[in-house]
């Protein structure tokens, strides 16, 4: 159990090192606060989200509706014909597709309820989809209300015209009353409903779970800082060598394996406590200060599994850095830069794992990507083990690779 | 009577093409304080590192406490104690926490560990300050903790690698006392590495002089100094030929005269060697080994005066280890 002695000693040292503690526990919190704050502030100035629309309706209502969405802001409709849109959605070139049925104008005019469908690509960001859905829904409500009011006002006008001038049945009060009752109806029984579907499951309508920025920001920054703390292990190994205490460890009756394991174990402890602290802040502290709280969802055990695999991966990374880096500067500065870039590629600042195209592909080269994606799967999409098993396997593969290369390249005599 | 605790056989270490330790062999007796004296870069630390399992030898082996270095490394490591040249301590931890850790990695636990830590703290007189972080200690105190850390597991054979570098004279004396007491009272065998000949002269019974990865002399201190005979005189001349050397050998009191391999280095500030001429010679130097340096000196000066040969420099080497080294290598221990 000399391995445990080394780990215990290293944890004592870390607990006395304020700079490291700050980096491990405080910095992630600051980042999450700053970025989730910025996210909600920036929303107004955001560029319009693209939404492909297939308009099967010949009437004037659909065109007005599309116009309504575009002027509401936030979403920009692109009209496309059905077959092209289906193909592009299939290929993942577009993420979402809204179909306006051919009966749209007719049904609306007949005061019948119309269902609009937004079909999403499986990889589409649910947050964005939900944002689009809300904007479309808003436009639909306005539209429906407008149609209803116009219809009843027209009706009233026609009746009025047919009456003699002194017996006009519709006073201002009655018109207002009529309008108010239309507002109430439109709320209770919206004329246009927007459903979100994935291709191939047009019949299955999922129950919608509200998704907040916290659900994405907290785990992504956790991943970033967990891997950043791999530098702590590397630096600790480097310091042992610089100070010469590494010689003492080598001169003691202990295998090289337990020496290395002893140096890696604190990284596991750091990772797990980082996750506990950061998630804890997300779950309990953020709601207290008026932000959305983190929700663990239906599979908290899967979260623990992701954390463990990530911890193994981060500790392997620590040894790899220690094995490859030659100077303190390389460990302190260069590895930090590399880890920040990897973190960014892996989706710390923006959920790159949801992107198609080049950027989305580049992210796959870093373990952060897979860890973030797994968290996203469990925390946002509510996936179970089968949904994130690929992510976990790739993450574990990265860990194994880091361990093997790290141990192989590790120089005990330097 | 002298039973050996360490026997080194053809121990070699190469770093790439560079041979830092060149197949050295020697043995150390139980209960000895054995010195490894040599300039910086001689290979002392490399040799010790191999013997303590820090570095793997390129070839050769050693037997330590009856165990083979190559085949029974774990047993060897329990016999050994290592005090590295650097302050190999964790500066943010207290002396006690450091010592407890170094005890634990030797398998000590619980009460046993506690008593041993208190014991070594007493040996280095640091019980009072034991709970302060080591980083706050003075250089001398750090050195003492550094030594204590090599003692917690009660080794039979203690390797001290330059334990007094950067230490004030008071702490230095304290370290010497501790080393002697460990040797005398606890029967610990000590291998003491240094590039200070005074330390080695003061502490060690036998000394191996190391240079460029080789042991160039190994003996008791009196025997090593006797290599200088009655003393060595270095004479710088404009010109030297074989004829002159032969004549020099004939002078009364002279044992041997030869052309020195390298010219004399500039005179040292502390005046360990006596200089007649302060000039740095750029001319050949004749090394004259004498039976009696005083008698030979008078005769040599007379010899050159008679022949009207100008003496460019003249240097008498005191009989000490520093000059043994100079005599053997033509270099000074400290540059
Ligand atoms: N890890 C290493 N790699 C390459 N050369 C080394 C290494 N360690 C020591 N050396 C070289 O070996 C020689 C002996 O070094 P060392 O054993 O530290 O000498 P000493 O302890 O006598 O001062 C030096 O020239 C040093 O530069
Ligand atoms: Mg050395």
Q: On the CB side of A253, how many CA atoms lie within 13 Å of its CA?
A: 18
The least confident of A321-330, A387-396, B47-56, B98-107 is A321-330
Q: What's the mean pLDDT when you consider all of chain B? A: 89
Nearest residue in A to B57, CA atom: A413
Ligand of minimum distance to the alpha carbon of B56:
1
pLDDT of B274 over the 60 cut? no
Model pLDDT, residue A39: 45
Secondary structure of A321-350 in the HEC alphabet?
A: HHHHCCCHHHHHHHHHHHHHHHHHHCCCCC
Phi, psi of B151 (to 5 degrees): -105, -15
For residues B130 and A38, the answer to whether their CB atoms sit within 8 Å is no
pLDDT band at B108 (very low <50, low <70, confident <90, very high): very high
Q: What ipTM did this prediction achieve?
A: 0.80
Distance CA A147, CA A134 (A): 20
Q: A16–B92: do the CB atoms touch at under 8 Å?
A: yes
Residue A211's contacts (CB-CB under 8 Å, 6 or more residues apart) are A126, A127, A130, A380
Q: B86–A243: do the CB atoms touch at under 8 Å?
A: yes
Using one digit for the tens of pLDDT, what is the confidence trace for B141-166?
999 999 999 999 999 999 999 999 88
Same domain for A288 and A359: yes
Residue B71's contacts (CB-CB under 8 Å, 6 or more residues apart) are none
Q: A217-231 burial by CB neighbour count: b if 16+ within 10 A, else e? A: bbbbbbbbbbbbbbb
Please provide the DSSP assignment of A335-390 as one string: HHHHHHHHHHHTTSSS-GGG--HHHHHHHTTSHHHHHHHHHHHHHTS---HHHHHH
Model pLDDT, residue A97: 86
Model pLDDT, residue A374: 92
Same domain for A23 and A52: no
| CATH number of the CATH domain containing A89 | 3.40.190
Same domain for A56 and A36: no
**Which is nearest to B83 in space by CA: B130, B145, B166?**
B145
**Nearest Cβ partner for A243 among B75, B87, B105:** B87
Same domain for A57 and A19: no
Model pLDDT, residue A412: 83
- Give the pocket of ligand 1 (CB within 6 Å): A 414; B 15, 18, 20, 38, 40-46
Same domain for A315 and A215: yes
Residue among B41, B52, B191 to mutate when testing ligand 1 (max atoms within 8 A of CB): B41
Provide residues of A within 8 Å CB-CB of chain B: 2, 5-6, 9, 12-13, 16-17, 243-254, 413
pLDDT of B190 over the 50 cut? yes
pLDDT of B282 over the 90 cut? no
Structure tokens at B225: 């100094």
Mean pLDDT of B211-237: 88
Q: Is residue A253 part of a domain?
A: yes
Nearest residue in A to B75, CA atom: A253
**Which is nearest to A61 in space by CA: A29, A95, A20, A105?**
A105
Max CA distance (Å), chain A: 113
Model pLDDT, residue B229: 76
Model pLDDT, residue A165: 59
pLDDT band at B266 (very low <50, low <70, confident <90, very high): very low
Residue ending a domain, among A191, A220, A254, is A191
Q: Is residue A399 part of a domain?
A: yes
Residue A384's contacts (CB-CB under 8 Å, 6 or more residues apart) are A298, A299, A302
Q: Is residue A205 part of a domain?
A: no
Q: Is residue A93 part of a domain?
A: yes
Beta strands in chain B (DSSP E): 4-15, 18-29, 33-37, 59-64, 67-68, 80-83, 157-161, 189-194, 206-211, 214-220, 231-237, 254-259, 274-275, 285-290, 311-317
Residue ending a domain, among A156, A191, A226, is A191
Q: Is residue A392 part of a domain?
A: yes
Model pLDDT, residue A180: 67
- Interhelix angle A335-345/A230-243, nearest 10 degrees: 170
First-to-last alpha carbon distance for chain B, in angstroms, is 40
Q: Tell me how far CA of residue B273 lies from CA of A52, A383, B252, B326, in angstroms.
A: 95, 84, 23, 11
Q: A251–B77: do the CB atoms touch at under 8 Å?
A: yes
Same domain for A381 and A243: yes
Same domain for A231 and A160: no
Structure tokens at A405: 């290369």
Same domain for A250 and A231: yes
pLDDT of B331 over the 90 cut? no
Phi, psi of B69 (to 5 degrees): -60, -40
Give just the sign of the alpha carbon dihedral B227, B230, B236, B241.
negative
CA-nearest residue for atom 16, ligand 1, is B43
Distance CA B145, CA B120 (A): 9
Using one digit for the tens of pLDDT, what is the confidence trace for B74-87?
999 999 999 999 89
B interface mutation test: which of A242, A244, A248 has the most B CBs within 10 A?
A: A248
Same domain for A399 and A250: yes
**Which is nearest to B231 in space by CA: B188, B274, B262?**
B274
- Interhelix angle A27-42/A256-280, nearest 10 degrees: 40
Closest-CA distance, A303 to chain B, in angstroms, reads 35
pLDDT band at B260 (very low <50, low <70, confident <90, very high): confident
Structure tokens at B206: 């036998």
User: What's the burial of A309, exposed, middle or buried (CB within 10 Å: 0-12/13-18/19+)?
Assistant: buried
Q: A251–B97: do the CB atoms touch at under 8 Å?
A: no
Count of domains observed in chain A: 2
Same domain for A180 and A104: yes
Ligand 1 atom nearest to CA at B210: 22
Model pLDDT, residue A147: 66
Give just the sign of the alpha carbon dihedral B195, B198, B202, B204.
positive
**Which is nearest to B209 in space by CA: B51, B47, B85, B328?**
B328
Domain interval for residue A130? 48-191
Please provide the DSSP assignment of B223-274 as one string: HHHHTTBTEEEEEEES---HHHHHHHHTSTTEEEEEE-SSPPPPPPTT-SSE
Q: B105–A13: do the CB atoms touch at under 8 Å?
A: no
Max CA distance (Å), chain B: 81
Model pLDDT, residue A202: 40
Residue ending a domain, among A191, A222, A252, is A191
Same domain for A59 and A183: yes
Model pLDDT, residue B194: 94
For residues B283 and B237, the answer to whether their CB atoms sit within 8 Å is yes
pLDDT along chain A (414 residues), means of 10: 92 91 85 65 54 85 82 80 85 85 82 80 79 79 68 65 60 65 60 62 40 77 87 88 91 92 90 90 85 83 92 90 84 79 82 72 88 89 87 94 90 78
Q: Report the length, in residues, of chain B.
A: 335
Same domain for A218 and A172: no
Residue B238's contacts (CB-CB under 8 Å, 6 or more residues apart) are B283, B309, B310, B312
Distance CA A104, CA A109 (A): 9
């Amino acid at each position: 159990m000399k391995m445990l002695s080394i780990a215990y000693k290293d944890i004592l040292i870390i607990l006395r090192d304020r700079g490291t503690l700050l980096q491990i526990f405080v910095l992630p919190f600051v980042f999450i606060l700053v970025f989730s704050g910025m996210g909600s502030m920036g929303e107004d100035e955001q560029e319009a989200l693209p939404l492909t629309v297939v308009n099967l309706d010949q009437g004037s209502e659909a065109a007005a509706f599309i116009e309504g969405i575009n002027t509401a802001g936030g979403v920009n409709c692109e009209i496309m014909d059905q077959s092209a849109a289906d193909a592009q959605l299939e290929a993942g070139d577009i993420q979402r597709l809204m179909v306006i049925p051919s009966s749209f104008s007719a049904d609306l005019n007949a005061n019948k309820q119309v269902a609009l469908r937004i079909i999403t690509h499986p990889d589409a960001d649910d947050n964005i989809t939900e944002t689009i859905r809300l904007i479309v829904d808003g436009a639909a409500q306005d539209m429906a209300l407008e149609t209803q009011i116009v219809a009843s006002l027209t009706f009233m006008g026609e009746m009025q015209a047919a009456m003699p001038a002194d017996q006009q049945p519709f006073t201002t009060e009655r018109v207002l009353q009529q309008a108010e009752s239309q507002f109430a109806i439109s709320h209770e029984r919206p004329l246009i409903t927007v459903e979100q579907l994935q291709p191939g499951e047009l019949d299955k309508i999922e129950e919608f779970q509200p998704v907040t920025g916290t659900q994405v920001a907290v785990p992504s920054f956790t991943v970033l800082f967990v891997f950043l703390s791999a530098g702590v292990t590397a630096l600790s190994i480097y310091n042992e060598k610089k100070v010469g205490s590494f010689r003492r460890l080598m001169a003691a009756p202990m295998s090289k394996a337990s020496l290395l394991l002893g140096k890696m174990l604190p990284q596991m402890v750091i990772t797990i406590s980082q996750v506990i602290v950061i998630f804890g802040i997300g779950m309990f502290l953020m709601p207290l200060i008026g932000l959305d709280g983190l929700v663990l969802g239906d599979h908290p055990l899967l979260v623990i599994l992701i954390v463990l695999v990530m911890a193994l991966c981060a500790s392997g990374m620590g040894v790899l850095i220690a094995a490859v880096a030659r100077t303190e500067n390389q460990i302190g500065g260069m590895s930090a830069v590399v880890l920040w870039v990897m973190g960014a590629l892996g989706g710390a600042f923006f959920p790159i794992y949801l992107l198609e195209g080049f950027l989305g592909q580049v992210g796959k080269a870093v373990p952060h990507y897979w860890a973030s994606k797994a968290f996203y799967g469990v925390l946002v999409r509510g996936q179970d083990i089968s949904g994130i098993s690929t992510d976990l396997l790739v993450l574990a593969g990265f860990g194994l690779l880091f361990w093997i290369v790290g141990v192989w390249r590790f120089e005990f005599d330097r | 009577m002298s039973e050996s605790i360490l026997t080194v056989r053809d121990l070699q270490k190469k770093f790439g093409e560079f041979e830092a330790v060149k197949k050295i062999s020697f043995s150390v007796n139980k209960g000895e304080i054995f010195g490894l004296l040599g300039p910086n870069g001689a290979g002392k630390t490399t040799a010790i590192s191999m013997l303590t399992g820090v570095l793997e030898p390129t070839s050769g082996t050693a037997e330590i406490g009856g165990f083979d270095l190559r085949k029974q490394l774990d047993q060897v490591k329990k016999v050994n104690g290592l005090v590295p040249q650097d302050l190999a301590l964790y500066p943010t931890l207290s002396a006690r926490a450091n010592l407890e850790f170094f005890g634990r990695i030797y398998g000590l636990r619980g009460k046993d560990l506690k008593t041993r830590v208190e014991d070594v703290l007493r040996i280095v007189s640091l019980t009072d300050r034991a709970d302060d972080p080591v980083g706050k200690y003075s250089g001398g105190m750090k050195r003492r903790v550094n030594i204590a850390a090599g003692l917690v597991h009660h080794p039979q054979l203690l390797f001290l690698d330059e334990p007094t570098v950067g230490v004030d004279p008071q702490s230095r004396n304290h370290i010497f006392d501790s080393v002697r007491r460990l040797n005398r009272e606890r029967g610990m065998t000590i291998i003491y590495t240094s590039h200070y000949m005074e330390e080695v002269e003061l502490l060690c019974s036998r000394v191996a002089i190391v240079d460029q990865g080789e042991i160039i002399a190994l003996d008791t201190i009196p025997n090593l100094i006797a290599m200088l005979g009655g003393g060595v005189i270095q004479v710088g001349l404009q010109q030297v030929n074989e004829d002159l050397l032969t004549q020099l050998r004939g002078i009364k009191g002279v044992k041997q005269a030869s052309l020195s391999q390298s010219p004399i280095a500039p005179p040292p500030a502390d005046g360990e060697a006596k200089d007649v001429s302060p000039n740095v010679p750029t001319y050949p130097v004749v090394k004259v080994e004498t039976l009696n340096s005083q008698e030979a000196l008078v005769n040599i000066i007379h010899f050159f005066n008679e022949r009207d040969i100008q003496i460019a420099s003249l240097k008498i080497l005191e009989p000490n280890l520093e000059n043994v080294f100079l005599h053997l290598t033509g270099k000074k221990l400290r540059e």
